[in-house]
Amino acid sequence: MLSIEGLCAYYGDLEVLNNVSLTLKQGQIVSIIGANGAGKSSFLKCISGLISKKTGRVIFEGNSITNFSANSIVKKGISHVLEGRQLFNHLDVIDNLNLGAYLFFKRGNSGLISQRRDEVFDLFPILKERSRQIAGTLSGGEQQMLAIGRAIMSTPKLLLLDEPSLGLAPLIVSNIFSIIENLNQKGTTILLVEQNANLALGISDFSYVFESGRIKLQGTGQELLGNEDVKKAYLGH
Amino acid sequence: MDSAFFFTYFLQFVISGITIGSIYAMVAVGFNIIYNVTEIINFAQGEFVMLGGLIMVIFYNKLDLPILIAFLMTVIVVAMIGLLIDQIVIKSIKQPTVLTLIIGTIATSILLKGAAMFIWGKNPYDLPAFSGREAINFFGAVIQPQALWVIGILVVVVGLLSFFFEKSIIGKAMRACSDNQDAALLVGISVKRMILLSFALSAAIGAVAGVIVTPIALMEYDRGAMLAVKGFAALILGGLGSFPGAVIGGLLLGLIEALVAGYISSGYKDAFALAVLLILLFVRPHGILGNPTVAKFKKF
Ligand SMILES: Nc1ncnc2c1ncn2[C@@H]1O[C@H](COP(=O)(O)OP(=O)(O)OP(=O)(O)O)[C@@H](O)[C@H]1O
Ligand SMILES: [Mg+2]
């Protein structure tokens, strides 16, 4: 479904990704782990179009989207949940969700929006209770749910998730991870960046370890969970 | 002074305060449009008003076009100038931060003023009032019919804009751009196009203001800066981002000025207006109608 070939990316002259290649099949959960600053978030931004200074190829469903702008890549069915939630903080929960489905509105399909919102409310009932609250005042867990909810409003085929567990209590984290698996079972392909290596490798079909802008290791979740280097560096034992 | 006489005077001051306040409100409304999308204050907003008045002078007084067509063409031309400012000035600023962009708009306003002096010279121009100049008697005070036009158009414009930004999804998409550009792009909003739209819209509103106030206040090349300062004060009074707030701020500012000028001396009117603004900022930093919760999540 998605294949990345020889991707290099830059912030000004600084190279953050060096010759990264990776593939993702329809229906998979693929995860990326790695130290702080390894380039994981930058990698997701290259796919969703937020980083334009790059070489190599990004191919989605057979077509190159390498040089597409971010607001046109989402139309292809790729939705990106940024690290640190990045909500529309001064709008309320419902407005954030509605804007997640901005594409439906642009296509003249506004009728779908409220139906889609109800589906998101089924997944995250707390958002329904808080529907008129200003997004910036939600708790961290609620904000993460809203960020995911907003991203799936447009019914993406591929969901890019950047550290959904960031700063959340263990109970909320496992709640969010079960929702991610649930979304995947319903057919959404998922590319997950995570610091919580145990959890991420546990639910993934395939995983990559990033180090200084390169892929250092790759394998199935089980393989990496058993790998000595991974154990030492990311699993803390 | 007997009380009927006193009342007539008071009424007259209030009427002129509301008239001038409506003009400030129109400028504040224009500020709000661009602020809502970019969180920048476009200090060339007063120049749009000046250009509206002076371009209308060309279309109506010089070219003799019918008033409605001249009005429409003025608004279109000024809106296009707004588009150009976005394309030429705003887009070419290399590291766009709120501060550098605001400085860009200040430079633009100075340039536009210079260009206007070159084209129109330093003399003030007049336009005919829409419904003549025969004053209406109101409990002994007089109202110019044009003042009613100003107030009526202000009410309509503010009503439409409030609805647009508070209720419509495009309006909310525009506000989302100022909140978080990356997130806006990722839901499919073309941020560039929204910014472009905001410049065109606020320039158009500025042009409307210029056309309707010139019959009351005349218009000359250097009026923009003063209007921008007063409109900005009105905006802060009412609460950045709020359209009803812009109206209340504008009217309040106009009333203070008119009453101080009437009862004390016109020399003190600006000082009083600014004193009220300062006091309000001490007790209610987010303005009269600004939302304190929302204000916390804004850059300024
Ligand atoms: N906008 C930027 N300008 C310049 N350098 C940047 C920018 N964003 C990120 N970097 C640098 O690029 C490198 C990779 O950053 P990135 O955010 O992709 O890492 P990450 O793997 O997501 O890290 P973390 O786990 O801490 O989120 C870092 O060294 C970072 O400092
Ligand atoms: Mg990151």
For CA atoms B13, B19, B20, B22, give the dihedral sign: positive
pLDDT of residue A191: 96
Contacts of A134 in chain B (CB under 8 A): 293-294, 297
pLDDT of residue B140: 85
For residues B272-281, average pLDDT: 84
For residues B270-294, average pLDDT: 82
Q: Say whether residue B179 is in contact with chain A using an 8 A CB cutoff.
A: yes
Adjacent-strand bridge partners of A2: A24, A60
CB contact under 8 A, B180 and A50: no
Min mean pLDDT across B67-76, B156-165, B281-290 is at B281-290
- Decide whether any atom of ligand 1 lies within 6 Å of the A83 Cβ: yes
For chain B, give every domain's residue range. Answer: 3-283
The highest-confidence range among A218-222, A228-232, B124-128, B295-299, by mean pLDDT, is B124-128
Task: Evaluate if residue A237 carries a pLDDT over 60.
Answer: no
Neighbours of B292 (CB within 10 A): 11
Q: What pTM value is reported for the model?
A: 0.90
Query: Phi/psi zone of residue A191: left (φ > 0), alpha (ψ -120 to 50 degrees), beta?
Result: beta
pLDDT of residue B1: 57
Residue A91 has its nearest CB partner, among B175, B186, B188, at: B175
How far apart are alpha carbons B62 and A166 in whole angstroms?
66
For chain A, give every domain's residue range. Answer: 1-77+158-167+189-237, 85-155
Task: Evaluate if residue B4 carries a pLDDT over 80.
Answer: no
Task: Evaluate if residue B251 carries a pLDDT over 60.
Answer: yes
Residue B188 has its nearest CB partner, among A74, A89, A137, at: A74
How far apart are alpha carbons A33 and A192 in whole angstroms?
9
pLDDT in tens, B107-133: 999 999 999 999 999 999 999 998 888
- Decide whether any atom of ligand 1 lies within 6 Å of the A191 Cβ: no
For residues B290-298, average pLDDT: 74
> Considering chain A, what percentage of its residues have pLDDT values greater than 70?
99
Burial classification of residue B64, based on how many CB atoms lie within 10 Å of its CB (0-12 exposed, 13-18 middle, 19 or more buried): exposed
Task: Evaluate if residue B293 carries a pLDDT over 80.
Answer: no
Q: What is the mean pLDDT of chain A?
A: 92
DSSP letter (8 states) at residue A134:
B
Residue A71 has its nearest CB partner, among B169, B179, B189, at: B189
Task: Evaluate if residue B284 carries a pLDDT over 90.
Answer: no
Nearest CA in chain A to B188: A71
Closest listed residue to residue B48, CA positions, set B17, B80, B72: B80
For residue A131 the two structure tokens come to 């529907």
Distances (CA, A) of A111 to A76, A117, A148, A231: 20, 11, 21, 49
pLDDT category at B27 given cuts 50, 70, 90 is very high
pLDDT of residue B300: 65
pLDDT of residue B80: 97
Count Cβ neighbours within 10 Å for each residue of B13-29 and write b for 16 or more, e otherwise. Answer: bbbbbbbbbbbbbbbbb
Nearest CA in chain A to B174: A99
Min mean pLDDT across A63-77, B36-50, B269-283 is at B269-283
For residue A53 the two structure tokens come to 């200074």
CA dihedral B213, B219, B222, B227 (to 10 degrees): -10
Task: Evaluate if residue B88 carries a pLDDT over 80.
Answer: yes
pLDDT in tens, A90-142: 999 999 999 999 998 888 888 889 999 999 999 999 999 999 999 999 999 99
Adjacent-strand bridge partners of A152: none
Q: Which CATH class is domain A1-77+158-167+189-237?
A: alpha beta
DSSP letter (8 states) at residue A136:
G
Contacts of B175 in chain A (CB under 8 A): 88, 90-91
**B168 CA: distance to closest CA in chain A (Å):** 10
Contacts of A106 in chain B (CB under 8 A): 188
Task: Evaluate if residue B95 carries a pLDDT over 90.
Answer: no
Residues 6+ apart with CB under 8 A from B208: B26, B52, B75, B153, B157
Q: What is the mean pLDDT of chain B?
A: 91
pLDDT in tens, A51-99: 999 999 999 999 999 999 999 999 999 999 999 989 999 999 999 999 9
For residue B187 the two structure tokens come to 């839901």
Residue nearest to atom 2 of ligand 1 (CA): A11
For residues B28-52, average pLDDT: 93
Q: Write out the E strands in chain B.
A: 136-138, 141-143
pLDDT of residue A24: 95
> Considering chain B, what percentage of its residues have pLDDT values greater than 90?
68
pLDDT in tens, B184-200: 999 999 999 999 999 99
For residues B31-54, average pLDDT: 94
For residues B223-241, average pLDDT: 91
